[in-house]
Amino acid sequence: MNFIQWCNDNNGFLTAILSLIGLILSVTAIVVSVRTARLPYKKKIMLGSSLLLGTSVVPGVGVKSSILGMSASATNVGNRKVNLTYLGYAVKKDGRYNMLYPYNREFDSKASLAPSEMSEIQFYTDELIKCFSRENRDIKLYVYAKDTEGKEYIRKAGTVGKLLDNLSK
């Protein structure tokens, strides 16, 4: 009985609570509709890195595998086409990413990726050793891609020291 009397005396307070609930529901509906409207325009790239292995048959020993280099790959997992201006490896120095370019061959890392398409760039052992032999072994190595809109995609791929150790084996 006391609760009913209190509600009758304080109906402005109850109106304010109901208005606040309505405002929260309205904001939630707006956020959900904006996110849903942006889904067809989502742009996302998944980066990967792998070693390139070669095998050879050695008489008396059997099959021997050796590391030929590394490859950087980018897969478009978004819902729209992405045009890459660079795909490869980079190291971070002085707050900037320094991209790796081969010194003895033509290098075209540009790619146009439709949804679910993949592009791959290969770097050979001699190129990697020459580029990274002067670097500090503790510098972090990244798989790096940049698109035509200026967005950078970055994924850690280890350190320069670990890369050189793997390539020298």
Rounded to whole angstroms, how far apart are CA atoms 45 and 67?
27
Task: Tell me the β-bridge partners of 120.
Answer: 73
Using one digit for the tens of pLDDT, what is the confidence trace for 9-33?
A: 877 877 888 999 999 999 999 999 9
Alpha helices, DSSP H, located in the chain = 2-9, 11-38, 125-132, 160-168
Using one digit for the tens of pLDDT, what is the confidence trace for 77-126?
A: 988 899 999 998 888 888 888 888 877 777 777 888 999 999 998 888 88
Give the pLDDT score at 7.
75
Give the pLDDT score at 52.
79
Give the pLDDT score at 56.
65
- Cβ contact 91:142 at 8 Å: yes
